[in-house]
Structure 1
Amino acid sequence: MTEKHIASVSFGKDSLATILLAKEHGEPLDEAVYCEVMFDKDISGEVPEHRDFIYGTAIPALEQMGVKIIVLRSEKTYVELFTGRVTRGPKKGMVRSFPLCGKCAVQRDCKIRPIQRYQKGLPPGTVQYIGIAHDETERLLRLEGGRQVSLLAKYNFTEKDAREFCRKAGLLSPVYAFTDRGGCWFCPNAKLSELRHLYDHHPDLWARMMELQAIPGKTTEKFNRTQKFSDIDAIFRQEDEDTAQAAA
C-alpha cells in the first residue's frame, strides 16, 4: 500500500512554509488538514483578519498549487462549552465558564477530538508533516519518529526563514503585524497586545466576551490566570481615557 502524506495546517507561517517546501522539493503530499474552532455556530474562533486570509487568500492559492484542503470542525463551540453546566462534584450545576490555561477544554473538544476522529480513517503508515522549525529543538524531540516529520527541520528552516518564505510567496497572515503567535481570539493565553487589537478593531467580538463575563453562577470569574475579562476591559478603557486627557 502506498503511504499517505498529510500536512497539518493552521495557516500560520510554519505550517504554510511546510506545504510550500513540500511543493518546491517534490515531497509527497496528498492533502492538508485544517481544523477551525468556532466561537458559536456562526462566528469563527480565528482572529477575523486571519480567517479572511485563510479563506480569501491561502486556501485558493494552495488549491491552485494542486493541494487538497480538508476543513474540519467540531459540533461543539466555545459558547456551548462555556455555558454548559457542571454535572458532578462540588460545583455541580454551575456554569463551566472560561477554560483553564494549560488545560483548555476548547482545545481538547473543538480541535484535538475532530482531528483524532479524522485520523482514525487514515490508512496505517500515514505520514504527517508537522510545522516545527529547525530551531525548535525541544518540540522536534517530541515528534513520533517515522509517522511525524518536520520538513522545516529537513531543509534547515528556522522560524525566521519560514516567515520570510511565506512573505515572499504572498502567504504571510496579516496577524503577524500585531502578534507572533496563532490562537483563537478568545484564548486565555492571549497576550495583552492581542487583546488590545481585538478591543480596538473588533468591538462586536469584545462585546460578546463581556456578555459571557456577565453570566452569573460561573465556576470561575477569571479569563486567564490572574484577570477577569472585565479587568482587562477596564485597563483598556483607562488607557483610552489617559490618552484622551493627554491630548486635550
Structure 2
Amino acid sequence: MPAVGDLIWFAAALAGAGAVAGLLAGLFGIGGGAILVPVFYQLFGLLHIDDAVRMHLSVGTSLAIIVPTSIRSFLAHRKRGAVDQDLLRSWLLPVPLGVFSAAVVAASVSSAGLRAIFALIAILVGVRMLLNRQHWRLGTVLPSNPVRAVVGWLIGLLSGLMGIGGGVLNNTFMTLYGSPVHRAVATSAGVGVLIAIPGLFGYIWAGWGAGGLPPFSTGYINWVVAALIIPITLVVAPLGVRFAHALNKRQLEIGFGIFMLSVAARFLYSLS
C-alpha cells in the first residue's frame, strides 16, 4: 500500500490536473487529456496497478472525464455563436468511426505500444504548438469530402489513442484553412464531444474482462478517479472559455508545447 503522504500528494495532483484540464478545455477547445493521462499513469503506478493495463486505464478514464467537460465547453462556446456547425455535422460519422478504430487498436496493443503512440503524437503536437504561426495556410476554405471525412477519421483515431479531445488537431486543421482561431477553438469543443462519447464506450468494450483492473472499473474506465476529477473540470471550463475570448494565447501555446514534449520524453524514457 502507498504511504498516506503519497496519497495526499497525488490527490492534490489530481485536483490540480482537473483544474488545468478544465481551463484548457475552454481556452484551447481541448479536453485536457494531455494533462490527465500522464497524471493518471503516475497515480495508477503508485497504486500498483498492473503495468499491462495501466496506460489503457489512463487513456480510457481520461476520455470518460472529457465527456462532461467537452459538452460544457461546447455549450458555452455555442452560446457565443462561434461554433462551425457545418463542420461538426459533416463529422458526425467520420470522427466517431476514428475513435472506434482507436478502441480496436487499444484492445490489441500492449501498454508499451500505447505509451509509444502517445509519445510520438505528443511530440508532433508539442512541435506544432511551439512553431505555430498564424500566417501558415494551406487554403482559404475548408476542404470538402472525401478529404474532410478522412481528416475527421484521423482526428478521431489519434485522439482516441491518446485519450484527448482532439482540440489541438482540429485547431491545426481549421486554422491552416483560414478559419479564425476563436472559431477553431469553439468548434474543437464540439469535436471533443464527438470523440469522448464513443471513446467512453469504446474503451469499456476494449477492456471488458481484462485482468488487473482496480475496483470500480468498467473496462478501461475507473469511475472513482473520474468522479473525483469531473466536478473540478466542470467548474473551471467556463473560466477557460472567457479567457479564450480575451487573451493572446501565444505564450500559453509555448508553455503547452513544452509540456507535451516533456510528457513525450517521460513516456519514451519508460520504454527504455
TM bin (shorter chain): under 0.3
Considering only CA atoms, is the larger Rg found in Structure 1 or Structure 2? Answer: 1
Higher relative contact order structure (alpha carbons within 8 Å, sequence separation ≥ 6):
2
Which structure dedicates a bigger proportion of its chain to strand? 1
Which structure dedicates a bigger proportion of its chain to helix? 2
TM-score of the superposed pair, with normalisation by structure 2: 0.24
